[in-house]
Amino acid sequence: MTNNADRTVAVSLPFTGKWKVENSPLRRVPSHGTHLLATTYAIDFVGVDDDGRTAPRVSWRTAFATEAPELFFAFGRPILAPVTGKVVAVHDGEPDHEARRSQLALVPYLLGQQERLRQGTGAIAGNHILIAADDGGAVVGVMHLRAGSLRVGAGRHVSEGEHIGDCGNSGNSTQPHVHVQAMDGRDPWTARGLPLVFRSFGEKPARGSTFITRANMLPQEGSIVEAQ
């Protein structure tokens, strides 16, 4: 039997601009705390500005309530195909819900986790696109896209770097971000997660001040990355 941990998949960052790394597999595996839905080696990116902020301001709502997803820099940013291949699944129609930076607002959200699981993949992954890489090595998915922004349909062949949708806050998402994962099949309920590396990017470590060129590796938790 092939060990999936040895089947590393090389992809490109699915965006331009600056993004903060969350849930990096370099911090822990499974990266999201579960193997469910083939998320073993998934990674999240939250759009930021040049100062590393996810939103231009804070208010009383930041500490005590929810906030509009449109407030955040990531919301509506173009999401690009991380690989060249055939689109094997597309899901749209999930709403972009309110964002939650407040610990108080997170409580009812966390309590609803099991119900979202019962509702199916869309309630967890949100609006998403799955692409079977041309080399036959993996299916790569981008999740939590903005409702109505998906530009491709199932069966379409896409090129790496092609604009396929926009960042949103759909599905199991506390603020606008993009989730990237690779797996050994097209059904997240039965597939197993595959490790990812990114071909080329700049990375500013969490305690660093300058960007360092990286190749064929993963970024660290809390660092800022940009495509190169």
Report whether pLDDT(5) > 80. Answer: no
Please compute the mean of the pLDDT values over residues 82-90 and round it to a whole number. 98
- Specify the 3-state DSSP secondary structure of 107: helix
The candidate with the shortest Cα–Cα distance to 170, out of 152, 148, 200, 194, is 148
pLDDT at res. 112? 63
Q: What is the pLDDT of residue 118?
A: 78
**pLDDT: which is higher, 135 or 96:** 96
Q: What local confidence, expressed as pLDDT, does residue 64 receive?
A: 79
Give the per-residue pLDDT at 3.
60
- Counted residue by residue, the chain has a size of 228
Whether 126 and 94 have beta carbons less than 8 Å apart is answered as yes
- Picking from 41-50, 99-108, 150-159, 168-177, which range would have the lowest pLDDT averaged per residue? 99-108
The C-alpha atoms of residue 15 and residue 70 are separated, in whole angstroms, by 18
Cβ–Cβ < 8 Å for 87, 153: yes
- Distance, CA of 10 to CA of 185 (rounded, Å): 16
Q: Is the pLDDT of residue 85 over 60?
A: yes
Tokens of 31: 């990266």
- Average predicted confidence (pLDDT) for the chain: 92
131 close to 87: Cβ distance less than 8 angstroms: yes
Q: What's the rounded mean pLDDT across residues 59-71?
A: 85
Question: How do residues 202-224 score in pLDDT, each as one tens digit?
Answer: 999 999 999 999 999 999 999 99
- Residues of the chain with pLDDT > 70, as a percent, come to 94
List b or e across 64-103, with b for residues whose CB sees 16 or more CB atoms inside 10 angstroms.
eebbebebbbbbbbbbbbbbbbebbbbbbebebbbbbbbe
The type of residue at 55 is A
Q: Supply the pLDDT for residue 31.
A: 96
Residues 113-124 have pLDDT tens digits of 677 777 778 889
- Kindly indicate the confidence band of residue 57, based on its pLDDT and cuts at 50, 70 and 90: confident
d(CA 45, CA 145): 12
CA distance 150 to 163: 9
